[in-house]
Structure formats: structure tokens, C-alpha cells
Structure 1
Amino acid sequence: MPRTPRPAEPEHASQPSETTAAAPRTRTGAIDRAVQIFDALQEANHPVTAYEVARTLGAPLSTVYSIINDLVEKNLLARTLEGAIWFGSRLYGYGLTYASSLDYLTVANEEMHRLSAQVEETVQVCGLEEGMMVVLQMAEGPGHFRVTSRVGSRVPLNWTASGRLLVGHLPDAERVAFFQKHAKPSPTGRSETRPEVLAQIARDAFQSRLSIQIGESDASVACLAAPVLDKAGDCVFTISIVMPESKAEQGAERFAHALQDVAARIEARLGWQHRTPEAAP
């Protein structure tokens, strides 16, 4: 005869709540791992194998395989013909929706392409993300000079002209603490890493509405950047010109004026804070 299931004993009544309480930690762990996978792909900037992802993250291969399989099924990741992993079409759709909701990026994109055509150099729009400078948009110049950073690239703030401007509006103590936490040596060994010095450089650049970096993150590469300020006077993003170091050393004045003009025009179009007369180019 089939057995009649026994009712749960009183002392086991707490088990469902313990299981329920543990579930969010499991889900959160999986979400964190998925974000780490996305970050690893973005950092690599090309399709990689699941094994390479697991090695980069220092995570169990079986765990990474399982999460990747789930993400592939949902079109958040995709597999190449060779079996490598890359971003899926669903993420592209999310990105388009997100970008279309940000009016300031629409305006910045228009001005970025206009400036690139004017100066005939690569122009980037950059923002701040988790202590790093991230390239939000980019218009390549018509010449043969090419930069290694692409849309989505993340770089330590102390390596870049834009990075310093992005925290230039912060109070002194916050800027110092920020660089204490996030400053890193650059591949060229020429980037400043002392927090107090960086904090002062950032403040001076912000007040002059212009930041210049030559050869600190990439040899033979120079970058000029201007901040775009919101109504509160905070730097929301920057617009920058990337060019050969030799060209910047010959004279960057016209590039600086063009940058500051474009930054002021973006602020005016968005109805944000206008430049003060002292800061105007």
C-alpha cells in the first residue's frame, strides 16, 4: 500500500524560512558572477573562451560554464563559430534603449562628431564608472593615427586628462580619498600616483576648464579634455581630443579653445550651468 506522507514535525518548521533566506544569497552570487563575466569580456575587447574567463576571474570552471550557458540561452551572451564567448544581441538592445533615454549623450554625440570633423582628430566623450574613466562615445579622426581605447574602455582616472576633471568638483578631502583608493601606476610609468598631488592637479584642471595629458597612459599619445558641468557645477562627463604626442607638443592652443567652445555649447543646449567669464576661452 502507498504510504501516507507524515506531516512535518514542529522542530522542522523553521527549515523553509532558512531555505528561503539562503536563496537570495545564491541569486546574488550568480548575478555578481555574471557581471564579472561581462566585465571580463569588456576588458578583453574580443571573444574569449569560458576557460579564459574562469582563469581571469579566478573562479571554478564549472561555475563559469553553468552561468555562461544560462546567459547564452537568454541571448545575453553568444558563442562564436569557434566556441568563444561574446556579448549577445539582447545586451545590444538594452544598450540602445538606455542610450536613447539619455538626452545629454544625444547632444554630446552630435557635438563630438562636429568637433572631430573640425579638428580632424579622434574625439571621445568620457564618464565616471566605479572609480574608473569609461569611454561613452567616440568619433575617430580621418587620419592614420588610431587610439587603443574604444567605447566601453575603462582606465584609471590618474592616467587620463578626462579622469582628473571628472572628480575635480569634489571637496578636497574627497578627491584625496578617491585617488588614494583608485590611483594606479600606468604602463609607461609616467602617471602621477601621489593622492595629494593628483587632488591638486584635478582641482587646478577643473578650475581652468582644461586638462592636458601627454604620454602618461600610452607612449606617443596626447589627450586634451574639457569638462561639461551640470546646473550644480559638477562634472557630468568630459569631451576630449586624442592625438599624437608630437602634434600636441607643436601647439595645443587651438585644440584647447575648440574643446572649451564645444563644452560650453553642450551646456547651453542642455540648459546646464554656463561658463563663468573667468573660465571662458
Structure 2
Amino acid sequence: MSVAESSRARGVDRVVSILKQLHSVRRPMTMRELIEATGAPRSSIYELVTILTEAGWLEAGADGSVFFGREMHYYGSDYAVHNDLISRAHQVILGLVRRHDETAQLCMLEGNKYTVVLSENSSRPFNISSDIGVKVPIPWTASGRLLLGHLRADAIRSLIPEEDFILDNGKRIEVPEFLGDVERAAEQGFFCTEGLSHTFRYCMAAPVRDKNGQAVAALCFMTSRDTDPNKRAAMLEDLIGSAKTLSQPYYGTSFGMAS
């Protein structure tokens, strides 16, 4: 690689780093914060931020801090329209929320973490939700247990960092217990957790499968632990049926989402 090519590659890496930092903190950042977070030279960050702002990828506030610009919203909208699963899942999630008045989500794996891809909240004052795109340790979720069902125990151990088995309340999930959950989730075709990542949270998840039967996404409900058991049962039945509906077009075809 030539010096010029190497310099351009570093520039691209720094653009990616800037965007990842803004997504990570989910708020505008000052130039000083971006320089410290990325470790890139001051002149390089100023130059790249100027270019990205002129392109509409970033927008500058009155105090000089920057955040994602309007163009990024357009790109995200284009992706949602183009990707068949995201487009159809959005309509399915809206239907689930309308029928049960509970928060519904589409979740996937991103590397060795779990993330929410789509989310719609209920109209009730008490809402439990997770931010879209925020990476969460896999053992903290019901969906994560479903999405690992195709992996062997040793592969799961290698994938998940040791610290991710410790919940945010300090409690540790033992690896054998987690592996048992993954096996049980695969056998029953759904999984529910209670008070796992949030004291008052009850989560239920059902798999969206590709042509090989592998769970590549999960459709989820998040409700409170005191939700009536009869309502929970109706929600779970609807969730499983909706996830199967989302899976159907992918049997016998290629699946375009990256896990």
C-alpha cells in the first residue's frame, strides 16, 4: 500500500471512529471530546468534522459541539425501506403494540453483543425499553439465549467476554446455567426472563429464522413483572406466531442480514 493509500485508509478509519463515538455516547460531543475519544490528531479531527458537516453527515451546535446530521437520517430511512426484514418487522411490531399495548422490539446480534434494531413503546405510562443500536451483553437478554442456539458450548464460551456474565446489579450468571438456558431456548422455540437486566422487567422473545432454521433475529415483548399471567400467555402466543410469519419468506431463500 502506498503512502497516499495508507493516509486515505487512516482517514476512513477516523471517520468511522467519529461516527461510532457519537453513537456510543448518544449526544453531541465537543471537538476536544472527539479528539480524546478517537486519539486522532487535532488537525485531522477538525478537517474531517468540517468535511462531514459540509456533507450533512454531521451538524454543529451553537456551542461548537457536533452530532449526526440530517443526511444520516435519510440513509437510515433508505436502509429501513430497502431491507425487507426491517420493513416487514416494523409493521409486525406496530401490530403487536396495538393489540397488547406493550413495548415490542426486533433484536439481533452485533459481534459478541446484543442490540435492538427496531422498537415501539406502548402508550401506558410505565414503559420498559432499550435504546436502538446500543450494544448490550448477550447474557443479559432473553433474545441472546435464542440467537446462540446454533453454536456449540465451546463456541459460546469463546464468543462472550467473561465480564458480560456479570449483570448491572453485580449478580453473576454462571456459565453452565447460561448454556442450559441456551439449550432450553432452542428446544422450546422461545424464551422468557424475569428481573434479569431490570428488577421490574419481564421479557419474552421468539426467533425469526433463516432458510436453515437458524435464529438470525428475535421478536421481543418487554413488560412488567406484575403483568397478568393470562395476558402474558396471549402475548407469547401472538409473539411466536408473528415471528414465524416474519421467518416464512426466508425459507428456501438467502437471508440478507448480517449477524
TM-score (norm 1): 0.79
Instruction: Verify: 1:54 aligned to 2:63, yes or no.
Output: no
When structure 1 is superposed on structure 2, of 118-127 and 165-174 the one drifting more is 165-174
User: What SS does the aligned partner of 1:126 have?
Assistant: strand
Paired residue for 2:12, among 21, 25, 31? 31
| Structure-2 separation of matches of 1:164 and 1:66 | 44
Q: Runs (4+) of structure 1 moved beyond 4 Å?
A: 58-62, 248-251
Deviation at 1:87, TM superposition (A): 0.8
Question: Shift in Å at residue 58 of structure 1?
Answer: 4.6
CA distance in 1, matches of 2:45, 2:146: 37
Gaps of 5+ in 2: 253-259
**Unpaired runs of at least 5, structure 1:** 1-19, 274-281
SS class of match (1:151): coil
2:256 matched residue in structure 1:
none
- Say whether residues 1:200 and 2:180 are aligned partners: yes
Alpha-carbon separation, structure 2, partners of 1:214 and 1:58: 41
| Pairing of 1:27-176 with structure 2 (within 5 A) | 27-176=8-157
Write the mapping of 1:266-277 to structure 2, written as runs, cut at 5 A. 266-268=246-248, 270-272=249-251
Q: Which has the larger radius of gyration?
A: 1
3-state DSSP of counterpart to 1:252: helix
**Cα offset for 1:21?**
1.6
Report the 3-state secondary structure (helix = DSSP H, G, I; strand = E; otherwise coil) of the residue aligned with 2:202. Answer: strand
Matched pairs, number: 252
| SS state at 2:160 partner | helix
Residue-by-residue CA offset, 1:115-149 (whole Å, 9 max, x unaligned): 11111111011112122212111111110123352
1:184, distance to aligned residue in structure 2 (A): 4.9
- Aligned Cα root-mean-square deviation (Å): 2.5
Q: Identify the residue that residue 235 of structure 1 maps to in structure 2.
A: 215
- Aligned CA distance change for structure 1 residues 143 and 179 (closer, same or farther; 3 Å): same
Asked whether the equivalents of residues 158 and 191 of structure 1 are also in contact (C-alpha less than 8 Å), the reply is: no
Specify the code of the residue in structure 1 equivalent to 2:213.
Answer: G
Kindly tell me: are residues 191 and 43 of structure 1, through their superposed partners in 2, closer, same or farther at Cα, counting changes over 3 Å?
A: farther
Q: Whole-Å Cα distance in 1 between the matches of residues 17 and 61 of structure 2? A: 20
Alignment CA distance shift 1:122-1:59 (3 Å): same
CA contact (8 A) 2:209 2:250 kept: no
Deviations 1:82-118 (Å, cap 9, x if unpaired)? 3221112222222222222211112111111111111
**Structure 1 42/184 Cα, relative in aligned 2: closer, same or farther at 3 Å?**
farther
Deviations 1:51-98 (A, max 9, x none): 223333455544433322222122111112332211122222222222
**How far apart, CA to CA, are the structure 1 residues paired with 2:179 and 2:38?**
32
Query: Would the alpha carbon gap of residues 248 and 189 (structure 1) be closer, same or farther in structure 2, given more than 3 Å must change?
Result: farther
- How far is the alpha carbon of 1:180 from its aligned partner? 4.2
Contact 2:208 2:215 in 1 (8 A): yes
- Call closer, same or farther: CA 1:159–1:191 in 2, change over 3 Å: farther
Distance 1:121 1:25, change over 3 A: same
SS of 1:247's partner is coil
**Residues 26, 199 of structure 1: alpha-carbon distance in 2 compared, 3 angstrom cutoff:** farther
Distance 2:38 2:250 in 1: 43
* Residue pairs, 1:240-259, within 5 angstroms: 240-247=220-227, 252-259=232-239
- Post-superposition Cα deviations, 1:140-198, rounded to whole Å, max 9, x if no partner, equal 1110123352222221211111122222222333222212478353322235263x543
Contact 1:162 1:226 in 2 (8 A): yes
Structure 1 residues 147, 168: CA separation in 2 closer, same or farther (over 3 Å shift)?
A: same
Supply the distance in 1 between the matched residues of 2:35 and 2:95 (Cα, whole angstroms).
42
Query: What TM-score does the superposition give when structure 2 sets the normalisation length?
Result: 0.85
